[in-house]
Chain A
Amino acid sequence: MSVTTAPRPQRLHRLERPAITGVLVREVVNFSSYWRSATFSSTVEPTIYLLAFGFGFGALVNNINGLEPVQFVATGTVATAVLFSAAFPAMFGTFVKYQFQRTYDAILAAPVDTEELVTAETLWIATRAGVYGCVPMVVAVFFGLEPSWGMLTVPLIGWVSGFGWANFGIMTAGFAKSIENFNYIVSAVLTPLFLLAGSFFPLDSFPTWLQVLGNLNPLHQTVELVRDAVFGTWEWNDLARLGLLVVFGLIMWRIAIYAMTRKLID
């Protein structure tokens, strides 16, 4: 007996648009069922940080690095919102989808490869993070942050940063043996990065070695880019900051694909 050969379809390639679109459609349709809770958690928490730290510091100091405390914290909290709406949904969402819901088994039985699956998931999460990241900034406008044209670039900055953090979350989920493993990542990685981002207080108030580490923190680069965009203080080194975020995103993307391939294909 011979193996059937006809009809032979067009050869399929890596990173195909229909495969990525298919996964994105699933995410968008699913989002319609949980957008309220996702939007609530991704916006309320950073907004509380903004109000608490912004007004809290405002009572203690008049300005931080030449900015009013609310302005300083509002622009810094954009990065926090990006982190919260990218890394955490990516970590927990990915883990739940492969471990409990078995969603990825169903998707990978269709003509979708792990590389496409991870890429589509991270594109979707990055897009959400780009949008949600703007919320503290918009809220701050009502508390005195002056609108500027540069604010229009903030969703893009949030997207680029969110792409890296989404991949970071997927990577973490891919390597995690149980959902409890996330506690180590949150405590030992995300919390220090979050506090060492310059969101709530300037990095130059830290010891030199911490400043060096802080400058390698993609979240800090996000904070600086957002501030320069909102206040129109662009400098050439912002290109380097953007480059660092892109490199961070690309490295995380490839590692996330590797981790998920190990997890999903045995």
Chain B
Amino acid sequence: MERELAIRLRGAVKRYGEITAVDGLNLSVPVGTCVGLLGPNGAGKSTTMRLLTAQSIADEGEIEVLGFRLPEESKMARAQCGVVPQLDNLDVTLTVEQNLLVFSHLYRVPHTERKAAIERGLEMARLVDRRDTRVDKLSGGMRRRLLIARALIHRPRLVLLDEPTVGLDPQVRQQLWALIDALRTEGTTILMSTHYIEEAQRLADTVLIMSHGECAATGPPSELVLKHAGREVLEVYGPPARLAEVEAQAQSEGLRTRRTGTSISILNVDGFRGFEGERRPANLEDVFVLLTGEEIG
């Protein structure tokens, strides 16, 4: 059965002078799924997000969002999208409720539905009892929740989350994961950029690993791990000379390896018994480092 796409990028290129931030990116986000853009800082994730709201205009390629061609029809696409930016851009001198009120107007929530939309936003952000509090008096976690509620005030069909939990402590991050997971369960399409492995692994149905503006790999997290790193990884510890020796030996056996600071990880060792070390399940970070050669947070 043919599945509808909420986002379709084909060969998208965005250059800033000599720098190519997005380099021929293909991206498909099926309706009702959560897709994670995973990559280190500078991989092109935020630029991709800006391309989807036409705040950046692609130099080459085709972009469609919710069936609208960008940039020509971006306004119609934006009317049905919610965007949670990486940087907090709430109006800090306004109250929580005033922030939601302003965006209910900007997102054209009908007059008769505005009050209910604001109440729903307050409940979603769990800020009902803080409705009259100025934003500059809120904690970082509360502000993030408000940013998400603001983006959802008009019940968008597609939500773009740009590093939604960056810089937050673990408890707050888990609160936001619950909020995003609830959205996904309700059937909202989500595109989320992150450089947190765990975030992508927990929330995304499909992950697209970005590096230097390109797609390094894409697929469901478990499939990516299985395909590129197998089920098990062997961590071998030792002095640098020993690690170099193990690395060379593993590679001569046709095994893939990656350096992890004080150890070397030998991937896809399911059933292989050649080295002494600690076995652990393979994970998405193994895949990322293997494919891009970059360590991530």
Give the interface of A toward B (CB within 8 A). 1-6, 8-9, 11-12, 18-19, 21-23, 25-26, 29-30, 33-34, 101-103, 105-113, 264-266
Give the residues in chain A near B55, CB-CB below 8 Å.
Answer: 105, 108-109, 264-266
Decide: A26 and B75 in contact? CB cutoff 8 A.
no
Decide: B102 and A29 in contact? CB cutoff 8 A.
yes
Closest chain B CB from A3 CB (angstroms): 5
Q: Looking across the interface, which residue of chain A has its beta carbon closest to that of B92?
A: A101
Asked if B142 is an interface residue, CB under 8 A from chain A, the answer is no
Give the A-B pair count, Cβ closer than 8 A.
Answer: 113
Decide: B5 and A1 in contact? CB cutoff 8 A.
yes
Closest chain A CB from B30 CB (angstroms): 7
The listed residue (B5, B80, B89) touching A101 by CB distance below 8 A is: B89
A108 and B53 in contact, given A1-B3, A2-B4, A3-B8 (Cβ under 8 angstroms): yes
A1 and B30 in contact, given A110-B103, A110-B107, A265-B57 (Cβ under 8 angstroms): yes
Q: Looking across the interface, which residue of chain B has its beta carbon closest to that of A23?
A: B106
Give the residues in chain B near A22, CB-CB below 8 Å.
Answer: 102, 105-108
Given contacts A8-B67, A105-B85, 18 further A-B contacts (CB under 8 A): A1-B2, A1-B3, A3-B66, A4-B4, A6-B67, A18-B108, A22-B102, A22-B105, A23-B106, A29-B102, A101-B89, A101-B91, A106-B85, A106-B89, A106-B103, A109-B78, A264-B55, A266-B16
Give the residues in chain A near B8, CB-CB below 8 Å.
Answer: 3
Question: Bound state CA distance, A143 and B285, in angstroms?
Answer: 77
Give the interface of B toward A (CB within 8 A). 2-6, 8, 16, 28, 30-31, 50, 53-57, 64, 66-67, 75-76, 78-81, 83, 85, 87, 89, 91-94, 98, 101-103, 105-108
The 7 A-B residue pairs with the shortest CB-CB distance, nearest first, are A102-B89, A22-B106, A109-B83, A5-B67, A4-B4, A111-B79, A110-B106
Question: Bound state CA distance, A150 and B76, in angstroms?
Answer: 46
Q: Looking across the interface, which residue of chain A has its beta carbon closest to that of B78?
A: A111
A102 and B53 in contact, given A1-B5, A266-B16 (Cβ under 8 angstroms): no
Give the residues in chain A near B54, CB-CB below 8 Å.
Answer: 265
- List, sorted by A's number, 17 A–B pairs whose CB atoms are closer than 8 Å: A3-B67, A4-B6, A4-B66, A6-B67, A18-B108, A19-B106, A21-B105, A25-B102, A26-B106, A29-B94, A105-B89, A106-B103, A107-B106, A109-B78, A110-B79, A110-B103, A265-B57
Q: Looking across the interface, which residue of chain A has its beta carbon closest to that of B89?
A: A102
Decide: A9 and B79 in contact? CB cutoff 8 A.
yes
The listed residue (A34, A105, A106) touching B93 by CB distance below 8 A is: A34
Closest chain A CB from B296 CB (angstroms): 25
Give the residues in chain B near A264, CB-CB below 8 Å.
Answer: 55
Closest chain B CB from A262 CB (angstroms): 12
The listed residue (B57, B92, B108) touching A266 by CB distance below 8 A is: B57
Decide: B83 and A29 in contact? CB cutoff 8 A.
no
Closest chain B CB from A176 CB (angstroms): 20
Closest chain A CB from B293 CB (angstroms): 29
Question: Bound state CA distance, A245 and B83, in angstroms?
Answer: 40
Closest chain A CB from B166 CB (angstroms): 15
Closest chain B CB from A82 CB (angstroms): 26
Q: Name the residue among A3, A9, A266 with the largest chain B CB count within 10 angstroms.
A: A3
Closest chain A CB from B150 CB (angstroms): 8
Question: Bound state CA distance, A112 and B5, in angstroms?
Answer: 24
Decide: A1 and B105 in contact? CB cutoff 8 A.
no
Q: Name the residue among A2, A6, A30, A110 with the largest chain B CB count within 10 angstroms.
A: A110
Closest chain B CB from A171 CB (angstroms): 20
Decide: A112 and B76 in contact? CB cutoff 8 A.
no
Give the residues in chain B near A5, CB-CB below 8 Å.
Answer: 4, 67
Question: Bound state CA distance, A3 and B8, in angstroms?
Answer: 7
Question: Bound state CA distance, A110 and B28, in angstroms?
Answer: 22
Decide: A12 and B75 in contact? CB cutoff 8 A.
yes
The listed residue (A9, A29, A34, A109) touching B53 by CB distance below 8 A is: A109
Give the residues in chain B near A18, CB-CB below 8 Å.
Answer: 105, 108
Question: Bound state CA distance, A264 and B57, in angstroms?
Answer: 11
Closest chain B CB from A9 CB (angstroms): 6
Question: Bound state CA distance, A265 and B31, in angstroms?
Answer: 27
Q: Looking across the interface, which residue of chain A has its beta carbon closest to that of B158?
A: A4
Decide: A26 and B76 in contact? CB cutoff 8 A.
no
Decide: B57 and A112 in contact? CB cutoff 8 A.
no
Q: Looking across the interface, which residue of chain B has its beta carbon closest to that of A109?
A: B83
Closest chain A CB from B66 CB (angstroms): 6
Question: Bound state CA distance, A112 and B107, in angstroms?
Answer: 9
Q: Name the residue among B2, B3, B75, B79 with the largest chain A CB count within 10 angstroms.
A: B75
Give the residues in chain A near B3, CB-CB below 8 Å.
Answer: 1-2
Closest chain A CB from B49 CB (angstroms): 9
The listed residue (A1, A112, A265) touching B28 by CB distance below 8 A is: A1
A3 and B5 in contact, given A34-B93, A105-B85 (Cβ under 8 angstroms): yes
